[in-house]
């Protein structure tokens, strides 16, 4: 524009303004510190206070760890070695480590079996977690794992888990065949088949109880962090599919299905988990015939699974509600039937939205497995509270033991959290 | 303009046959107490291109959504391609797979790529082998002129491109009838043309089409019948020439003067 037209309204751009980098004073570490830590008197005071608090905490924590001892057979040894240096008595962890992990009843010469099962978890889980990077056939490892792990941890004949697997496969095949005539008929036929195979399988595994036999270990003997891990993995992997079914059921147009799901969710969610565990422990026995030996761990698994499934169902319902109605309509208008629309269109999106909520419940569930210590099961917390702290050797060594428990739980929970954030990034399809 | 070649067996383009594609008789629908559609009678012949217009809330979207059972009607009969629309799920799914639909907000599946959006229904509903479904999908994506976007996600495309993908997705099911529910209402002016061009292409090739739209230029150029709806009733229907130049009903005159007035 020339000066003569400086006040004119008309304007025509003749050349594009090239993009330029921001001014250098507006970037770099110095700017970050100034803006985030010392942007004003109040923030400067807060920064200094914050540094003081961190310094105070570290000045207690570092000597406790650095001066601590890992040697010694009991609390008196510890006191002698430490001589009031303020260090921690970590000897208790070294001494009772196997008990913290396996409980005090699991036979020590069989501990390799749960250890092996734990290691195999790292073979079995990646195919499910990283399904987009690994070939689909690797999922076989995930499918086989529960049966192998059961056999390793509980022992007995391999036929028992094998028959269970057969029952599931048989039920699924029958379901697939009959499904063409209708979903409900298929489901009923599948369940009947599975139960029949399971029933016959009971005789087979009784008859062949010596086949591929490992020394059996009773459920009562399970304990320590192993028990938390068993309950955590089993309940999480069962409660997610159950939660999905409850969430879909709650949306159903069929009044009986919907009513059942609503009542189930509202009831289970309205009751403390501890009461459910007491029910599992004591009350359930009244309802069962006296000769039925219903394993305590299974009862606890059922209760925790029901509890977290109700929560997960509500989380997923939120995800379903967040989907625009148009997604349902587009799926319908293309002629997809209900199971297809759910499986291919609705659930992938709803579950993606629900990931943070589901992980929240899963992490909470994993930590809630410590509640079984109140119904006299010796999980990690039960072991510390009971046999270890009440032994004369280690009475009063609270800090070190609880810190160890915290670290064990934190490692697992933080791993779950990191995985879920990674998964969310992987599934983002908008601005890639 | 190249034909979309959706129904290679139909020889003559832009002609209307005597064969009935959709027959609606005495159809009524209520939302609760609200009478949205009143005594709708409509016969659509194969190859017809019908534009439905009317003020908002007049029931035009509801009408075409009844045709593929996205909305349930309470009275009267709808017969699509010889299949009566009842509460029988088998019939509903059959009709839906024969009738393509495009929505105002495209409703592409955001978690699937463009190609997967197009192949999903042929693979799962028609049981087409994957490779064949992909070939068909690429064919139609080329026809709507976006084959190079096939491996992107819907969120990475512009509105006009998304709507063209939505059209291609419907065409992959080889529908005999296409329904359009305000396909250009959510688009920027620059993108409306590319979508309308695709629809014109489709019309020239002989597809039976029902379009709810306010694009009167499109109606003039393509439609062989324009239907005006108000308060849940068909108020007037005529050939575009007569409809625009010589409207009979007062309500139609008012509507036309308002939308053509500026």
- For the stretch B223-236, pLDDT in tens is 889 999 988 899 89
pLDDT at A123 over 60: yes
Which residues of chain B lie closer than 8 angstroms to A330, CB-CB? 101, 103, 107-109
Q: Which residues contact A255 (CB under 8 A, 6 or more apart)?
A: none
Interatomic CA distance for residues A46 and A68, integer angstroms:
33
Q: Which residues contact B261 (CB under 8 A, 6 or more apart)?
A: none
Percent of chain A with pLDDT over 90: 32
User: What is the tens place of the pLDDT at every residue in A205-243?
Assistant: 777 777 788 888 888 888 889 999 999 999 999 999 999
B132, two tokens = 């064949």
C-alpha count within 13 angstroms, C-beta hemisphere, residue A263: 6
Residue B144 per-residue DSSP state:
T
- For chain A, the residue count is 432
Partner-chain contact A429 B107, CB within 8 Å = no
| Helical spans, DSSP H, in A37-158 | 41-66, 75-82, 91-102, 112-129, 139-154
pLDDT at A44 over 80: yes
Question: For residue A358, what pLDDT is reported?
Answer: 92
User: What is the tens place of the pLDDT at every residue in A382-424?
Assistant: 888 888 888 888 888 888 889 999 999 999 999 999 999 998 8
pLDDT at B252 over 80: yes
User: Residue A138: which pLDDT band, with cuts at 50, 70 and 90?
Assistant: confident
Percent of chain B with pLDDT over 70: 94
User: What is the tens place of the pLDDT at every residue in A71-109?
Assistant: 878 888 888 888 877 788 888 888 888 888 888 888 888
Domain ranges of chain A: 220-432
Question: For residue B12, what pLDDT is reported?
Answer: 45
- Given B89, B109, B153, which is nearest A345 (Cβ)? B109
Question: For residue B1, what pLDDT is reported?
Answer: 41
ipTM computed for the complex: 0.87
Question: For residue A327, what pLDDT is reported?
Answer: 93
User: What is the tens place of the pLDDT at every residue in B208-225?
Assistant: 999 998 888 888 888 889
User: Residue B4: which pLDDT band, with cuts at 50, 70 and 90?
Assistant: low
Question: For residue A299, what pLDDT is reported?
Answer: 86
Interatomic CA distance for residues A125 and B20, integer angstroms:
57
Residue A69 per-residue DSSP state:
B
Interface of chain B toward chain A, CB-CB under 8 angstroms: 68-70, 89, 93-94, 96-97, 99-101, 103, 105, 107-111, 120-121, 124-125, 153-156, 169-170, 173
Interatomic CA distance for residues B60 and B71, integer angstroms:
12
Which residues of chain A lie closer than 8 angstroms to B171, CB-CB? none
Q: A220-432 falls under which CATH superfamily?
A: MetI-like (1.10.3720.10)
Partner-chain contact B110 A337, CB within 8 Å = no
Mean pLDDT of A127-133: 83
B44 forms beta bridges with B22
Residue B83: which H helix or E strand, with range? strand B83-84
- Given B70, B99, B121, which is nearest A336 (Cβ)? B121
Number of Cβ within 10 Å of residue A415's Cβ equals 10
User: What is the tens place of the pLDDT at every residue in B24-61?
Assistant: 999 999 998 899 899 999 999 988 899 998 888 888 99
Cα angle vertex B253, ends B249, B257, to 5°? 170
| Test the B interface: residue of A182, A328, A334 with most B CBs within 10 Å | A334
A417, two tokens = 């959290």
Which residues of chain B lie closer than 8 angstroms to A326, CB-CB? 103, 105, 107
Mean pLDDT of A293-314: 89
Partner-chain contact B103 A330, CB within 8 Å = yes
Question: For residue B10, what pLDDT is reported?
Answer: 45
Mean pLDDT of B188-217: 88
Partner-chain contact A329 B120, CB within 8 Å = no
Give CA B17 to chain center in angstroms.
Answer: 19
Partner-chain contact B89 A330, CB within 8 Å = no
């Amino acid at each position: 524009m020339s000066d003569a037209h400086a006040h004119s309204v008309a304007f025509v751009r003749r050349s594009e303004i090239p993009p330029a980098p921001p001014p250098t004073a507006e970037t770099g570490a110095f700017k970050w510190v100034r803006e985030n830590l010392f942007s004003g008197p109040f923030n400067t005071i807060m920064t200094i206070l914050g540094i003081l608090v961190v310094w105070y905490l570290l000045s207690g924590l570092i000597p406790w760890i650095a001066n601590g001892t890992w040697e010694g057979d009991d609390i008196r040894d510890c006191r002698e070695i430490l001589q009031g240096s303020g260090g921690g008595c970590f000897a208790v962890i070294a001494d009772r480590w196997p008990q913290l992990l396996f409980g005090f009843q699991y036979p020590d010469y069989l501990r390799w079996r749960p250890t092996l099962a734990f290691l195999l978890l790292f073979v079995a889980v990646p195919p499910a977690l990283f399904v987009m990077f690994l070939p689909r056939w690797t999922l076989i490892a995930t499918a086989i794992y529960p049966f192998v792990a059961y056999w390793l941890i509980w022992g007995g004949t391999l036929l028992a888990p094998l028959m269970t697997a057969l029952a599931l496969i048989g039920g699924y095949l029958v379901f697939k065949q009959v499904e063409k005539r209708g979903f409900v008929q298929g489901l009923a036929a599948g369940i009947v088949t599975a139960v029949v195979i399971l029933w016959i399988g009971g005789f087979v595994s009784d008859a062949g109880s010596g086949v591929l036999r490992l020394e059996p270990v009773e459920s009562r003997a399970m304990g320590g962090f192993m028990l938390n891990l068993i309950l955590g993995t089993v309940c999480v992997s069962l409660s997610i599919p159950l939660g999905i079914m409850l969430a879909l059921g709650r949306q159903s147009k069929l009044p009986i299905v919907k009513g059942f799901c609503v009542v189930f969710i509202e009831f289970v969610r309205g009751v403390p988990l501890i009461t459910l565990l007491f029910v599992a422990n004591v009350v359930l026995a009244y309802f069962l015939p006296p000769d039925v030996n219903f394993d305590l761990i299974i009862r606890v698994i059922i209760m925790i699974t029901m509890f977290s499934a109700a929560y997960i169902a509500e989380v997923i319902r939120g995800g379903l509600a967040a989907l625009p109605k148009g997604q349902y309509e587009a799926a319908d208008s293309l002629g997809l039937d209900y199971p297809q629309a759910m499986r291919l269109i609705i659930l992938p999106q709803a579950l993606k939205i629900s990931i943070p909520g589901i992980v929240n419940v899963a992490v909470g569930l994993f930590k809630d497995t410590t509640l079984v210590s109140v119904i006299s099961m010796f999980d990690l917390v039960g072991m510390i509270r009971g046999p270890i702290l009440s032994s004369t050797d280690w009475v009063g060594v609270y800090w070190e033991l609880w810190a160890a428990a915290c670290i064990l739980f934190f490692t697992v929970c933080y791993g779950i959290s990191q995985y879920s954030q990674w998964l969310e990034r992987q599934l983002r399809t908008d601005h890639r | 303009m190249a034909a979309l070649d959706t129904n290679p067996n139909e020889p003559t383009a832009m002609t209307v046959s005597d064969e009935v594609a959709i027959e609606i008789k005495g159809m009524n629908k209520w939302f609760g107490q609200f009478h949205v559609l009143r005594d709708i009678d409509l016969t659509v012949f194969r190859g017809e291109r019908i534009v439905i217009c009317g003020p908002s809330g007049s029931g035009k979207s509801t009408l075409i959504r009844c045709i593929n059972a996205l909305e349930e009607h309470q009275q009267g009969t709808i017969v699509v391609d010889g299949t009566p629309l009842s509460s029988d799920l088998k019939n509903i799914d059959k009709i839906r797979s024969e009738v393509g639909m495009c929505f105002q907000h495209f409703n592409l599946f955001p978690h699937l790529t463009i190609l997967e959006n197009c192949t999903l229904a042929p693979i799962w509903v028609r049981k087409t082998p994957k490779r064949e479904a992909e070939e068909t999908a690429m064919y139609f994506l080329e026809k709507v002129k976006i084959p190079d976007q096939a491996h992107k996600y819907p969120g990475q495309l512009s509105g006009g491109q998304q709507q063209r993908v939505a059209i291609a997705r419907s065409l992959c099911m080889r529908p005999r009838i296409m329904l359009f529910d305000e396909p250009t209402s959510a688009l920027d002016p620059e993108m409306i043309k590319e979508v309308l061009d695709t629809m014109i292409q489709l019309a020239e090739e002989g597809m039976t089409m029902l379009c709810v739209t306010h694009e009167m230029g499109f109606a003039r150029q393509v439609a062989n019948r324009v239907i005006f709806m108000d308060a849940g009733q068909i108020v007037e229907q005529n050939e575009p020439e007569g409809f625009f130049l010589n409207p009979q009903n007062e309500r139609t005159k008012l509507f036309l003067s308002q939308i053509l007035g500026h």
